Amino acid sequence: MLGDGQGDLQAIATVAVQDLATAKRFYETSLGLKQIDAQGEEAAVYKAGASRLVVYRSQYAGTNQATAVTWNVGNELDQVIQDLKSKGVTFEHYDLPMMKREGDVHIAGGTRAAWFKDPDGNIHSLVNS
């Protein structure tokens, strides 16, 4: 059983990439993550708060058309967007039901979100909750 009934088990996000060296430059330089482990030329493991993000080589990289990783940045959303844009990250704009957009931020009720892609097209989301 995956759940311990308390929600205390950790999940690890995994993102498939074609070129690990290119991905590592993006995740370390653009996103500012620190690599904490590696599996040779096949994968890199990054610290992401109390979680881990595994970036691994796969022939299926970039084929997911939905959000792969969500980053909860709280009240820092606007600052994180500006920081990432200053590092060349481009934000995606979507027409989503019941959401309005202000610049790069999509808003629904009290939730504010922005999406960007890594070099392989994997979709990342920043949220304020």
For 4-47, how does the pLDDT look when each residue is reduced to its tens digit (9 = 90+)? Answer: 666 667 788 999 999 999 999 999 999 999 999 988 889 999 99
d(CA 39, CA 86): 31
Task: Say whether pLDDT at 61 is over 90.
Answer: yes
Those residues with Cβ within 8 angstroms of residue 99's Cβ, 6 or more apart along the chain or in another chain: 106, 107, 108
The predicted-structure confidence for 65-119, as pLDDT tens digits, reads as follows 999 999 999 999 999 999 999 999 999 999 988 899 999 999 999 999 999 999 9
pLDDT at 129: 79
Task: Say whether pLDDT at 1 is over 50.
Answer: no
pLDDT at 39: 83
pLDDT at 33: 97
Domain-wise residue ranges, the chain: 13-127
CATH number of 13-127: 3.10.180.10
Helix, strand, or coil (residue 26): helix
d(CA 30, CA 108): 27
Average pLDDT, the chain: 92
Which candidate, 129, 126, 127, 124, places its Cα nearest to that of 27?
A: 124
Give 116's strand partners: 91, 124
